[in-house]
Amino acid sequence: MKADSAAGVKAVKTKKTFTQKLDTQGVAGYVFILPFIIGFLAFLLVPMIMSLVYSFTEYDILREPTFIGVANYIDMFTNNAKFWDVLQVTLYYVVFSVPLRLVMALLVAMLLVKSTKLSGFYRAVFYLPSIIGSSVAVALLWKRMFASDGVVNGVIKLFGGQGNTAWLGRGDTAIWTLIILAIWQFGSSMLIFLSGLKQIPVSLYEAATVDGANGPQKFWSITLPMLTPTIFFNLVNQLINGFMAFTQSYIITGGAPRDKTLFYTVYMYKQCFTYNKLGYGCAMAWFMVILVGLITLVLFKTQHLWVHYEAEE
C-alpha cells in the first residue's frame, strides 16, 4: 500500500492531508482493488503454495504431514498404472469432445447467422443445453437416457433397431455418452462464433462473389481464416474446461465400467477424500497445472502458424 509516491502526488509540493492522499489515483486504485488482492492471496496464492508443499509430503489431514520428497511424483509416474489410465481416459475425452463441440458450434452458428423471424427462438433453443448442461439435474437425466431401458434404446427400437445396448455398461460406449453430453453443450461457443461471424465485413464476400467464388470457396478462404482468433479463444477455453471435467464422470458413470470413464479430477478427488492421501492429491493437481499450462503455452506459441489477426495486415 505504499503507493503515495505515485506521480500525481509527487508533483504537489505541499504535504497532503490523509483524506487528500486517499483521493489520489495511486492510493484509491489500491483501495478499490484491495478485495481482489486479499482474495487472490488468501484463496489462490496461499493454497497453491500450500499445495506445492503438501505434494512433497504424506498427509491424511488427521496427523501432521511427513516430508517424503518426490516420492508421490515417482509413484505417480512409475508405480501407479491407474494414474496413466485416468490420464488416458481424460485425454481421450478431451481430444474428441473439444474439437467436436467446436465444429458443432461453428456449424450451428453458420446456420443461425442468417437472420430470420425465428432467429431469436433458434438461438435460445440451441443455447439452452449449454446453460443447464453442467447441472446435476442433466447428469441424472443423461444417466437415465442411456440406461439399458432408457429413452435412447427406446427410440432405437422405435426405428426398428434392437435397442438392447448397455451404453453405460461398456467402456467404449460409456465414454461416448459423456462426450455426447459435452458436444450437446455447444451453446456458449456457438454464441461466440455467432458474434465473430457477424464481424466479418460483408464487402469481403461481395468481392469474392464478383470474382466468381462459390460457397465452399468463400468458407475456406474468408470465413475460416477470419474466424481463427475466435476459434483459438474457444479452443483454449474448452481445453482447460475439458481437462477439468468432473461432475459428468462423478455422477453419470462413477468411473464405471472398470474405471474406463474415470476422469483425472475424479481420481484426484478419490485419492484425497476416499483414500485420505491428500499429499498425493496435491501432487496430481500440480501435475495437471503443469500439463494444462504447457498445452496452453504451446497453443499460444504456435498461434502465429494458423491464427489470423487482422492487425497484421
Partner 1 sequence: MTNKKVGAARKRAVITVIYHVFTLIFALVMIYPLIWMILSSFKDSNTILRTASQLFPTKWEFSNYTTGMKGFGGIRFSNFFRNSFVISGLSMIGATISSAIVGYGFARCNFKLKQFWFACMLVAMMLPFQVIMIPQYIMFKKMGWIGTYLPIIVPQWFGQGFFIFLNVQFIRGIPYDLDEAARIDGCSVYGIFTKIILPLIKPSLVTSAIFSFMWKWDDFMTPLLFLSNPEQYPVSYALKLFADPSAGSDYGAMFAMATLSLVPIFIIFLTMQKYLVEGIASTGIKG
For the segment 88-127, give every residue that binds partner 1 (CB under 8 A): 108, 111-112, 114, 116, 118, 122-127
Cβ-based nearer residue to partner 1, 66 or 221 = 66
* Total interface residues for partner 1 by CB under 8 A: 96
Q: How far is the CB of 244 from partner 1 (least distance, A)?
A: 4
Stretch that binds partner 1, among 20-28, 90-98, 205-213, 297-305 (CB under 8 A): 20-28
Cβ-based nearer residue to partner 1, 23 or 221 = 23
Q: What are phi and psi of 66, to 5 degrees?
A: -110, 135
Q: How far is the CB of 84 from partner 1 (least distance, A)?
A: 19
Q: How far is the CB of 134 from partner 1 (least distance, A)?
A: 6
* Residues 44-63 as x/- pattern, contact with partner 1 by CB under 8 A: x-xxx-xx--x------x--
CA nearest to 261, candidates 134, 130, 85: 85
On whether the CB atoms of residues 165 and 173 are closer than 8 A, the answer is yes
Q: How far is the CB of 154 from partner 1 (least distance, A)?
A: 3
Name which position in 35, 160, 215, 216 contacts partner 1 (CB under 8 A).
Answer: 35
Q: Does 282 bind partner 1 (CB under 8 A)?
A: yes
Name which position in 166, 200, 244, 299 contacts partner 1 (CB under 8 A).
Answer: 244
Contacts of partner 1 in 171-230 (CB under 8 A): 184, 187-188, 191-192, 194-195
Q: What are phi and psi of 159, to 5 degrees?
A: -90, 15
Write out the three cell numbers for 14.
Answer: 505541499
Name which position in 66, 79, 135, 209 contacts partner 1 (CB under 8 A).
Answer: 135
Q: Does 298 bind partner 1 (CB under 8 A)?
A: no
